[in-house]
Chain A
Amino acid sequence: MMLKLFNPPVSGGRLLAALLLAGLLAACDAAVPQPELGVARAKADQCVEPTGDMRRNHMQYLLTHRDETVIEGIRTTQHSLVECVNCHVAPVRADGSAVHYPDKDHFCASCHTYAGVKIDCFQCHADRPQVMDNPDYPHPLSANRYHQLASGGGTTVSLSDMLAVSGMGSGSTAGEVRP
């Protein structure tokens, strides 16, 4: 009944392991994509916190803000994820194709891929501004419209009114949209 297992010589095993490890390391090294920081640098002076602070602590700001918003109903815009996306993610690329978080050139993904960080924010949150039916949609930061509204600017326009999700033709009420 006893079964003699194949027992590889120790040196062979070590050699195999070393080879595998070396191969793995080589592969990893070759595959590291550099983060695309151009977008971030271009807007660094307009960001809600200093650049270094954002690089280190953006997740803390988001975590604190998310609980304040969902649990307490605090709706400040300074650390809102929607605002980050509005400012940093263009709805489409130059060629008109949609950019999503799983793509390497998504603003958040470019760095997270480099750093090996896994997040689940975009399982629920929109990973790009929702303007598919409105290609002339100006950048919210440059237009300064959404920030104005959120800080009590007094217009009746809100982002939600300008947006429509695909498959919902009547997504926006004509009277409320002021592109």
Chain B
Amino acid sequence: MSDGLQQVPQRNQVDAYRRHFMAAVTGAATLATLAPGVILREASAATRPDVTARPPEQPATSVVRWGMLIDTARLGDGGAAMVAACRREHGWGHDPRASPEQQPQWVRTVRVTDKLTQHSFTLPVMCQHCEHPPCVDVCPTGASMKRADGIVQVNKHICIGCRYCMMACPYKARSFVHEPLTDQRPHSPRGMGTVESCNLCVHRIDTGRIPACAEAAPQAVIFGDLNDPDSRISQAVQALGGTQIRADLDLNTGVRYLNI
């Protein structure tokens, strides 16, 4: 079979990818193993944090664009730890009255199997933080919004709960809260009758911390500023690429994947 013939070079390619990713994750420590084209500057990658705190009175700007690179091959659990961290951080997933179909899920692990080749992998899927988000286009009130730094989120203060954004999202990233809630996480308000989704832990980013899911899988996830050519994530995507889910839709997602 032709698949068999392709297997060896593919395997090598995968290994090369993994080496590159390792380099990107660990910074300059493995610089020696990098291919000539991959340059990770020691100073920037090793010592500079991925997110620096803005002064609280300063608004987010379009100078940065937050993004995330997830290497599914290095996840190990397909992203289950990331999902658990998100649940803990935002307090979703145990709304008492909702049926399983009504239970919100900001991020879930999806197992993908090619129909022909049976090649299979698992990846975490959440809001992909598109540059051109369909959910923002369709929202009648502007509640579904993209922040200056590329974070797509719901402004629940003006969300009327029409669910049109859920119809429009290609990634099924949005959920609707089907019941009254109490004792929410103070930094992550969620409530009945509004739509919600991954907001890249906007409360963490604004105070100089990386999202909870990225924190939970440091071996496989790089979070950072895609607009900064010196950031770890920019170096990594430049060297290794970063596949978009449904790239055909041309949405230019902020969440990118390796090995899918």
Contact = CB atoms under 8 A, between A and B. Distances in A.
Direct contact of A and B (CB under 8 A): yes
Interface of A: 66-68, 70-77, 82, 85-86, 98, 100, 120, 123-130, 132, 150-152, 158-160, 163, 165-168, 170-171
Nearest to B208: A152
Interface residues of B, number: 39
Contact of A166 (B60, B155, B183): B183
Interface in B45-80: 53-60
B122 interface: no
B88 A130 contact: no
Contacts of B206: 73, 75
Contacts of B230: none
Contacts of B203: 75, 160
Interface of B: 53-60, 87-89, 91, 94, 145, 147-149, 153, 155-157, 180-187, 189-194, 202-203, 206-207
9 contacts: A72-B59, A73-B148, A100-B182, A124-B184, A125-B184, A126-B186, A126-B189, A152-B55, A160-B89
Given A75-B206, A128-B183, A163-B185, A123 B191 contact: yes
Nearest to B157: A66
B157 A165 contact: no
B186 A165 contact: no
A62 B230 CA distance: 38
B237 to A, nearest CB: 24
B57 A70 contact: no
A165 B183 contact: yes
